[in-house]
């Protein structure tokens, strides 16, 4: 029997989950998706990116293998997800050896509220652009063996009324890196730190920075070479099922 590699682009509201990765005794995105795929005759999913408790995604990528092409069971997949704040927004059949973790770019969006000094905030964020050692801007466990050098390709800081939207693009990010970067910029604008402290942190000096809240962070895009994803739209069900808070309004607008 033929085996097919199925790629699905998913979105989810992070407030309902203890992160994306499977953990014992709590509800996670991977746990829900894994059980549904198993019942549909597909393998355990491989996620392109992990997200923490409370972090949203408008674009995460999973792959699985089955004896069907995506179109043959994407409808059943969507239907079985209806009781959860997880949505299939696209799909594609890919090569059997395709690895979703090998992307050419990831994009995160963070919404900052009540920031008075937007010019200084942007100046602080731009310090992170380029290749740096981000060990002071991430959560690194003593048991971790990881290269903490990362390249941030671009950071766009734009205002939407009283709200700042940060779009941060790079190949990959460390655990809590984006939230630490946002927290460091907020530390500067609130007088807890200065721009020199961020420069010191990037140069290897030990500096403690605030970590920004998870619920205002969204994994917004993952890009690959030569992959075309067929779009699925679920706005109607999404609107009906959830009453939106101030933060959630920004999350939902990503779909429109």
Catalytic positions, please? 52
| Residue 94 contacts residue 46 (beta carbons within 8 Å) | no
| CB within 8 Å of 192: residues ≥ 6 apart | 210
Per DSSP, the three-state class of 250 is: helix
Residues in the chain: 256
Q: Which residue, 235, 231, 184, is CA-closest to 212?
A: 184
Distance between CA atoms of 12 and 33, rounded to whole angstroms?
11
Query: How far does CA 69 lie from the centroid of its chain?
Result: 26
Q: How far is CA 130 from the centre of its chain?
A: 20
Q: Give the β-pairing of 56-66 and 217-223.
A: parallel
- For residue 231, give the 3-state DSSP assignment: strand
Cα(72)–Cα(188) distance, integer angstroms: 52
Which residues does the annotation place in the binding site? Answer: 108
> Which residues contribute to the annotated binding site for substrate?
108
**Spatial separation of the C-alpha atoms in residues 19 and 100, rounded to whole Å:** 18
Q: What phi-psi label fits residue 2: left (phi over 0), alpha (psi between -120 and 50 degrees) or beta?
A: beta
Q: Which residue has the tokens 């309902």?
A: 16
């Amino acid at each position: 029997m033929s085996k097919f590699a199925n790629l699905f682009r998913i979105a989810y509201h992070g407030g309902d989950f203890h992160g994306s990765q499977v953990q014992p005794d709590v509800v996670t995105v991977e746990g829900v998706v894994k059980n549904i795929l198993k019942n549909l005759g597909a393998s355990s999913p491989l996620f392109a990116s992990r997200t923490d408790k409370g972090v949203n995604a408008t674009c995460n990528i999973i792959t699985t293998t089955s004896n069907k092409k995506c179109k043959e069971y994407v409808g059943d997949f969507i239907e079985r997800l209806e009781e959860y704040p997880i949505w299939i927004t696209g799909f594609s059949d890919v090569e059997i050896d395709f690895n979703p973790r090998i992307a050419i770019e990831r994009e995160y969006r963070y919404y900052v509220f009540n920031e008075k000094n937007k010019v200084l905030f942007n100046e602080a964020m731009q310090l992170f652009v380029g290749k740096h050692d981000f060990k002071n801007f991430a959560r690194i466990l003593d048991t971790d063996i990881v290269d903490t050098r990362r390249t941030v390709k671009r950071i766009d800081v734009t205002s939407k009324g009283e709200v700042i939207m940060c779009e941060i693009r790079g190949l990959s990010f460390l655990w809590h890196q984006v939230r630490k970067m946002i927290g460091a910029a907020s530390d500067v604008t609130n007088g807890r730190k200065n721009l020199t402290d961020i420069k010191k942190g990037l140069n290897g000096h030990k500096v403690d920075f605030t970590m920004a809240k998870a619920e205002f962070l969204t994994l917004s895009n993952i890009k690959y070479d030569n992959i075309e994803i067929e779009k699925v739209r679920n706005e109607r069900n999404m609107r009906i099922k959830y009453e939106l808070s101030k933060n959630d309004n920004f999350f939902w607008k990503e779909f429109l």
